[in-house]
A and B are shown apart, each in its own frame.
Chain A
Amino acid sequence: MQIRIQHLEKHYGRYAALRGVDLDIRSGELIALLGPSGSGKTTLLRAIAGLETVDGGRIRFGDRDATTLSVQERRVGFVFQHYALFRHMRVLDNVAFGLDCRPRRDRPARAEIERRALDLLTRVQLADLRDRLPDQLSGGQRQRVALARAMAIDPTVLLLDEPFGALDAKVRVELRRWLREIHDATGYTTVFVTHDQDEALELADRVVVMNAGRIEQIGTPDEIYTQPATPFVFDFVGRSNRLRGRIDQGRFRPDGQTRSWALPEPLADGPAQLFVRPHDLRLDARDDGLDAVVHQVRRRADRHVLSVQVAGQDTPFDLDLPVHADAEVPAPGARLQVGATRYRVFATA
């Protein structure tokens, strides 16, 4: 089901949780809502589900305006962060609950309900545990039951709130791949909330980066990482360095430096900041390298990270140096010229 969100607004008292959010979700897409806590991502997810009422804007499910539909009428499959499994019901009854609650005329026969619930449990590989109570399951198993339960109502959209947040690291990675497989097999339009960028980049077709109640960027994982649209996205997704400076005659000149760098795209003259990833910095710069002093060298498993102080900038830079057995690593105090293969410049507001 295609979902269209138009200018959604939500306030809690004087606090604005959503400030005009627009988002189109294509049918069958797997979307990640990524952002720091308080960015509005969970509020947006709950607004789509009808668990939060909104103060302005529209939500459309396909051709239908869902803004004023009740949570029951929206028929979304919602997986809660802590699963919200019904503790007193067997796993099978949890999964069957949605079908069981239908009004009599729409309700399948008991045997049919059980068959469908069992099918779903088989799909999430938990058919053997159908008679267990939720308390007798591991975290990962509960997560899968919650997903099966949500799918049992044949939802218009699957919504998952921090689906892996409560799991330990190993299970988390397994379940990620498994969720992708389930999504590809079922084709449900799926939206999940996460604050973990690895999760969002690995799993989603498109990532929606949110900050302070607004959408900063919508794009494929590649676009989000390689072409961040705003300073916030550059800073929030992946590691980055920031240089302060000015745009002067179509080139960026960092504060305290005489050399300047070409702009990737044209910008008006004025104060600006340049963002660059540690692995896009080079020491073999030719005549446009910036003067810098090595401040500290940190060893990682697969690389050295040089912390370098660029003259005229207030915070040091991180620079990745691939580990080669024969390569010489600069020592603290060494003077260098730093260049970059890829970077982005934003005008400072």
Chain B
Amino acid sequence: MNRSTSSPTTEPRWLRRLLIGAALAFIAFFLLLPLAAVFVEALRHGLDAYLNALREPDALAALKLTLLVAGIAVPLNLVFGVSAAWLISKHDFRGKALLVTLIDLPFSVSPVVSGLVYVLVFGAQGWFGPWLIEHDIRIIFAVPGLVLATVFVTFPFVARELIPLMQEQGRDDELAALTLGASGFQTFLRVTLPNIRFGLLYGVLLCNARAIGEFGAVSVVSGHIRGLTNTLPLHVEILYNEYDFVSAFAVATLLAMLALLTLGLKALLEWRHGHQLAARARH
């Protein structure tokens, strides 16, 4: 008999191969091809052109600004994330479910709207616009606006990673520390923080990637002033719209490499410390 009995819980080999092939083709076409395009387009006119594009003062200014904005926004969200996760995982109170939902709210708002809300509050025609102009304080079309918009779009990242992790870990460790005489602050620093350090790192990693790459929200509040309020993603757009494709893609490779680095670190964290992360967070 040449009919092989197939396992009851899997598909025949030919079907398995077909499905794997289809999935891989889909991923190659939709994920790998665009990634490859970034690097190929950037090097279209050779390595020198590529490196020259990266040495442009405007590109360097954009890089600095991007790091500055992320450097402010990420710590702010880190503090909030830890605070919210402590509140939600270690305490019982009414309205907890509502609070969790509200923390996630920025994920369901268009990035453009995330920028718009700050224009409405701080813009020239906004609530505080006249007062700000009077006192010569610039928020919109300036660095504070970029930071605010970035904080908004990356708001839930750290909290979302920590809340399920700290809920899984329970409260016994903290209570044990308290019975042993530790103060609240000692308990957090010496017991909770070591327990969540990898989850925290994971959340910060994702938060940082989004903070650096954010485009829509930042675009609305930036004003696109070259060398002043242009982050890297915005600089890519300007170069592209000026038909300076090589430069646009050259700057884009920086962002793409950062994305790959993020994915690598993320995979490393999942591999080495998977048990100390919340059951695979979705973002």
CB within 8 Å for A97 and B195 given contacts A84-B172, A86-B173: no
B173 and A84 contact, CB distance less than 8 A: yes
Question: Would A88 and B195 count as touching, CB distance under 8 A?
Answer: yes
B165-208 vs A, CB cutoff 8 Å, 1 = contact: the mask equals 00000001101111111110010001100110000000000000
Q: Given A88-B194, A88-B195, decide whether A102 and B181 contact each other with a Cβ distance below 8 A.
A: yes
Decide: A101 near B179, CB < 8 A? Known: A82-B172, A84-B172, A88-B195. no
Q: Which chain B residues border A80 with CB–CB below 8 Å?
A: 172, 175-176
User: Chain B interface: which of A25-33, A68-76, A239-247?
Assistant: A68-76
- Closest residue of A by beta carbon distance from B179: A78
Instruction: Report which of B173, B182, B194, B195 forms a contact with A101, defined as CB distance below 8 A.
Output: B182
A153 within 8 A of B: yes
In contact, B179 and A86 (Cβ under 8 angstroms): no
Q: Once the chains bind, are B195 and A87 in contact (CB under 8 Å)?
A: yes
Q: Is the interface of B mostly helix, strand, loop or mixed?
A: helix
Chain B neighbourhood of A86, CB < 8 A: 173, 176-177, 190-191, 194
Do A76 and B179 touch across chains, with their CB atoms under 8 A apart?
Answer: yes
Distance A180 CA – B172 CA, assembled complex (angstroms): 25
Given A72-B182, A72-B183, A82-B172 in contact, is the A97-B177 Cβ separation under 8 Å?
yes
Q: Contact residue range for chain A?
A: 20 to 34
By beta carbon, the residue of chain B nearest A98 is B180
B191 surroundings in chain A (CB, below 8 A): 86
Q: Count residues on chain B whose CB falls below 8 Å from chain A CBs.
A: 16
A51-B175 contact, Cβ under 8 Å, with A88-B194, A88-B195, A101-B186 = yes
Chain B residues near A77 (CB-CB < 8 A): 179
A97 to B177, CA, bound (A): 8
CB neighbours (8 Å) of A152 from chain B are 180
A144 at interface by CB-CB < 8 Å: no
Is A149 close to B, CB under 8 A? yes
How near does chain B come to A44, taking the closest CB pair, in angstroms? Answer: 16
Distance of B164 from chain A, by nearest CB (Å): 18
A49 adjacent to chain B (CB < 8 Å): yes
Q: Is the CB of A78 within 8 A of B176?
A: yes
Cβ-neighbour of B181 out of A49, A85, A98 (below 8 A):
A98
Q: Among the interface residues B177, B181, B190, which one has the most CB atoms of the partner chain A within 10 A? A: B181
Cα distance A87–B190 when bound, in Å? Answer: 11
Interface bits B117-143 vs A (CB < 8 Å: 1, else 0): 000000000000000000000000000
Residues of chain B touching chain A, judged by Cβ–Cβ distance below 8 Å, are: 172-173, 175-183, 186, 190-191, 194-195
